[in-house]
Amino acid sequence: MIIRVHTSGSSQIELPLRPSPVELGPGIKKKNNIWRFWSYKAGGRIVTCYGPWEFENAKRLEEDRDVLAWCEQPLKIPKARKDGTAYVLDFWAYRSCGTQEYGEVKPESEMVESEDGNLEPADWAAVRKAVDRLGGKPVVVSDAYLDDMSYLLSNWDHIIGHVARAYYQDDRALRESILNLIAKRPPISLGEIESYHASSFGDDIRAQTFRLYQEGRVSAPLKDQPVDRCLRFRPIGD
């Protein structure tokens, strides 16, 4: 079964039907800090992340323009653990190449060494078999991997709300005007984009600009520069 979603601009792409989040037990909910935010990629809804590393990974999925859709707690595998209990994976992600990832987010300190010498979650062999049967790709995301992206993910803290606003207030005319301006005057700062569109509300300008970034229609050096009015945008490939 497939659904259609809008991606870059007005183009459409066929995606597999997203999984629905598994309902977790009250014990898991009580022992974890909870983060929530609105996500277009997760189906235009509020997503719930249990623990800081799941939240960091969610931001990674939001920022990664190769990820077209994702879902939290997508799959429960009965009796996958050695003690006979179920294993609930942390995320599902669909990439532009057609790969469906089923992943776990785990600190390296909580992993074990596999037979081939790699670090992985306990009971991961049973999870891998279950994901293979679904035709998916099992993925482990460690705290060390997310730490390497800390600057980018910290920037994304400031962007999540803007992107949500851009979808709630889908100002296509403003978005296309910003895109044309970036194409004519690269590199152009966020402050210059706001000055050019002075008749529009500043938060709307920032929202539509960062939506263009998330859709992969413009680029910005978010890996090493802060999100402020000096952040410069370019057309993709420029």
Structural domains in the chain, sorted by start: 18-147 (3.40.1350.10), 172-235 (1.10.10)
Residue count of the chain, please give it. Answer: 238
| φ/ψ (deg, to 5) at 105 | -110, 120
48, 72 Cβ separation under 8 angstroms: yes
Rounded to whole angstroms, the Cα distance separating 69 from 19 reads: 10
Please report the pLDDT score of residue 29 as a whole number.
60
Q: CB neighbours of 76 closer than 8 A, spacing ≥ 6?
A: 22, 86, 87, 88, 89
Please report the pLDDT score of residue 221 as a whole number.
97
Please report the pLDDT score of residue 25 as a whole number.
76
pTM over 0.75: yes
Q: Tens of pLDDT along the chain (238 residues)?
A: 444 454 545 467 788 888 999 988 776 666 668 999 999 999 999 999 999 999 999 999 999 999 999 999 999 999 999 999 999 999 999 999 999 999 999 999 999 998 888 899 999 999 999 999 999 999 999 999 999 999 999 999 999 999 999 999 999 999 999 999 999 999 999 999 999 999 999 999 999 999 999 999 999 999 999 999 999 999 998 7
What are 137's strand-pairing partners? Answer: 101
Q: CB neighbours of 196 closer than 8 A, spacing ≥ 6?
A: 181
| φ/ψ (deg, to 5) at 141 | -110, 120
